[in-house]
Amino acid sequence: MSTKKPIIHCDALVVHCMDYRLQKYLQPWITVRFGYDNFDIISLAGSVHDYEMVLKYVQLAVRIHGIDTVCLINHEDCRAYGREGNLQTPQTRFAETPQNKITALFPDLKVETFYLHLDGTFESIS
């Protein structure tokens, strides 16, 4: 794969859940983190729950916008994971995410993972 960046460029792809309870926290945090117009963003039920879908968007964002960073945000009480999801720790929530696949496919990409609590606190998960 060519490392040459496309002419149209932004720094990051942000992946978060569609849940309405998060929106008031997400937009301000993402803007502070990446700027007003420096990120692609997708909103999927369960965020990284459908990691094959997430991978498709990562590949697209790399190809058309030359992103440097993928920012994955899961959250507390995500109903997309069902009852079992509420028993998962933030760390296990990311255990089956595309994080490792992204790194394998795109070793130059930085992958960040966060767990958003319903009080608006973003917890970095590594």
CA atoms lying within 13 Å on the CB side of residue 24: 4
For the bound state, the minimum distance from the C-beta of residue 110 to Zn ion, rounded and expressed in Å, comes to 24
Smallest CA-to-CA distance from 67 within 12, 2, 6, 1 is with 12
**Position 78 contacts Zn ion (CB under 5 A):** yes
Residue 21 structure tokens: 């309870």
Smaller CB separation from Zn ion, 17 or 48: 17
Looking at residue 71, what DSSP letter applies? Answer: E
Token duo for residue 24: 């008031």
CB of 47 to Zn ion, least distance (A): 6
Structure tokens at 110: 């930085």
Of 1-9, 32-40, 73-81, 90-98, the segment contacting Zn ion by CB under 5 A is 73-81
* Residues in region 1-40 near Zn ion by CB under 5 A: 17, 19
Please identify, using beta-carbon distances, which residue of 53 and 80 lies nearer to Zn ion: 80
Q: Which residues bind Zn ion (CB under 5 A)?
A: 17, 19, 78, 80
